[in-house]
Amino acid sequence: MVTFLLVVALIVAVLVLIGFVLGYNKIRGADVRVAEALSGIDVELTRRASLIPGLVHTVQTFAAHEKGLLEHVTNARAAVAAATTGGSVAQRSAAEKELDTALVPLLALGQSYPQLNSSQNFLDLQQNLADTENKLAFARQYYNDAVATLNRSLSTIPWMFVAPLTGVAEREYYQTPR
């Protein structure tokens, strides 16, 4: 009888250990996916920011007197670059919103300057910005999906019992700048 109880206790201990290892790996894997998804957003924000100097130069060629507008775009670009080098998700979102706000009037200059709107360089930059925005929207969605998976794992049974031992905390969602 004692041998039987020892075997049962050993089997239960092994099952608990296997459950712990599976839970730990699941949560840590989800945390890695969130970090990877956030770096995907950073890549697209950096790509978008790298298009700005060309856009500013092209607009400057046709509309040199729009200096305040061009400085605003340049400052917003610098804020995005700073936010992608370690800022929080909220800082990234705020910097992205500021860049969006600065780009709208810059891109609208094409309506005021027909020669700018007919410039192939300006049109190419607009197309690249639109493509980057689509990729950025996908990266934001992927990040939010990864965060949802992680947060769900941290708060559901049986993984919630393993979560405190992993050192992983819930992550915040990426708010679309508007």
Angle between helices 120-155 and 2-62 (to 10 degrees): 160
* Best CATH choice for the domain 29-166 from the list 1.20.1440.20, 3.40.50.970, 3.40.50.410, 3.20.20.150: 1.20.1440.20
**Residue corresponding to tokens 């709208």:** 104
Tens-binned pLDDT, residue by residue, of the chain (178 aa)? 788 899 999 999 999 999 899 999 999 999 999 999 999 999 998 898 888 888 888 777 776 667 777 888 888 888 888 888 877 888 888 888 888 888 888 877 777 777 777 778 888 888 888 899 899 999 999 999 999 999 999 998 888 888 888 889 999 998 876 6
Q: How far apart are CA 93 and CA 87, in angstroms?
A: 10
Is the pTM here over 0.85, yes or no?
no
Measured distance between the N- and C-terminal CA atoms of the chain, rounded to whole angstroms: 69
Q: Domain map of the chain by residue range?
A: 29-166
Give the pLDDT of residue 176: 76
